[in-house]
Amino acid sequence: MANQQNKFQPPQVSQDPPQNSEETEEGEAESKKKEQEELPPFEIVEGSRIPASSFMFQFKNVEYSSGRNKTLLCYTVERGEGQVFRGYLEDEHVSAHAEEAFFTTVLPQFLTSGKVVVTCYVSSSPCVSCAASIAQCLKRNKTLQLRLVVARLFQWEESEIRGALRALRAGGCQLRMMSGADYSLVWKNFVEPDFNLDEEGKVEEKQDQGNFIPWEDLEENAKYYEEKLAEILR
């Protein structure tokens, strides 16, 4: 599991005694407000395994993704001589998106003069800006072969998004929707079980987490998105 670094700093405690309770409350409120205004945005989280509950929520291929306000990206990088690297990133849609972070800061360290095959499993398709970053990466690296496999289409009704997806395909990106087999593969390689503590405080794995158990309408939703993507890329 990724260990997210906590960037938040504890509030400074004043050493001066308060003059009265009203001034104390006002001072604390002002201090709290100032602290909140100065808090930096969330950082990109990077690791090797996603908590099962997070994966099941964020990767669910529903049409309306209410509450799913972050992007999760699982990647496999294959280089010569059988070298394979895996990991994942997530964001909070506050600063850089996971796709942009991967293609501008993570992937470059794996790129060599030889062929590199990259497969990204993403909870939703990229926005216009991220699609542009991916297209630029493909343009700069002619030996890069990219497969982008997404659970949901992000704002696919918007003309700019549709154009960005077509530009990705034209730039050499293999773009498709996740199927049940893809979910099982990601579950096996990128997801870790959630754990509970028993009455004695010992860690116990939640039941039924050995294999991926699809939700009822997974394949139906995947087919729906496949049709939409085919329409966009036509």
Amino acid found at 208 = D
**145 strand-pairing partners:** 117
Give the per-residue pLDDT at 17. Answer: 38
How far, rounded to the nearest angstrom, does the alpha carbon of residue 119 sit from its chain's CA centroid?
Answer: 14
Q: Is the pTM of this model over 0.85?
A: no
Using CA atoms, how far apart are residues 74 and 229, in angstroms rounded to an integer?
21
Instruction: Give 146's DSSP letter.
Output: E
- Residue 78 among the catalytic residues: no
* Right CATH for 45-233 from 3.40.140.10, 3.40.50.10710, 3.30.450.20, 3.40.50.720: 3.40.140.10
Per-residue pLDDT of the chain (234 residues; tens, 9 = 90+): 333 333 222 223 233 334 454 554 555 545 444 443 443 343 455 566 888 988 999 999 987 766 777 889 999 999 887 889 999 988 765 567 889 889 988 899 888 778 999 999 999 999 999 999 999 999 999 999 999 999 999 988 899 999 999 999 999 999 999 999 999 999 999 998 766 555 555 555 554 457 899 999 999 999 999 999 999 999
Taking the alpha carbons of 123, 232, 131, 127 in that order, is the dihedral positive or negative? negative
**Residue-level pLDDT at 81:** 75
pLDDT of 153: 94
Ramachandran angles phi, psi of 14, nearest 5°: -70, 140
* Domain extents in the chain: 45-233
The phi-psi region of residue 122 (left if phi > 0; otherwise alpha if psi is between -120 and 50; otherwise beta) is: beta
Give the span between the Cα atoms of 99 and 130, in whole angstroms.
6
Catalytic residue, candidates 99, 100, 157, 200: 99
Beta-carbon contacts of residue 115 (< 8 Å; ≥ 6 apart): 79, 80, 143, 145
Q: What three-state secondary structure class fits 121?
A: strand
So what's the pLDDT on residue 117? 95
